[in-house]
Amino acid sequence: MYFCSFLNLLNSIVSLTVFLQYVIYAITMCFELYLVSKSTGGFIGVVRSLLYIIGLFVQMLICFCIPSTMLTIEAADTQNVIYETKWYQCPYTSIRKNVIIMMIRLRGDIALTAGNLFFVNLETCTE
């Protein structure tokens, strides 16, 4: 099925990159929060660091978490649409078998991963 093979290809291409991006975000946020706690730059330095942290978080949401969540929702919707058709009334057995195979393949966890360690979605980003 095209959707599953596309997701596997996308995962193989971006999984390591997304993982490295998350690691860099985490290190950068820790460093910026450390600077805020020490407030070495005064009020302007604190505001700059907080805006930078907010920018990183928004970038992570827009570039990774929201598209991955939309992909997962689309896969679930596709499975529901396939199930709600009258596929069981089709006179051809081969078509019914193919539809069952499509529903089974769409039933699993369909999401982008970061380094094959964790799923990238809104739930993981906001925890």
Q: What would the pLDDT profile of 47-104 be if each residue is shown by its tens digit?
A: 888 888 888 888 888 888 888 888 888 877 888 888 888 877 888 888 888 888 888 8
The residue extents of the domains of the chain are: 1-125
What pTM does this model have?
Answer: 0.69
Burial of 78 (0-12, 13-18, 19+ CB in 10 A): middle
Dist CA 101 CA 45 (whole Å) = 57
Angle at 117 between CA 78 and CA 53, to 5 degrees: 95
Dist CA 53 CA 64 (whole Å) = 16
| C-alpha count within 13 angstroms, C-beta hemisphere, residue 51 | 6
| C-alpha count within 13 angstroms, C-beta hemisphere, residue 12 | 6
The answer to whether residue 7 scores a pLDDT higher than 80 is no
Q: Are 39 and 47 in contact (CB under 8 A)?
A: no
Measured in degrees and rounded to the nearest 5, phi and psi for residue 119 equal: -75, 145
Encoded amino acid at 24, one letter:
I
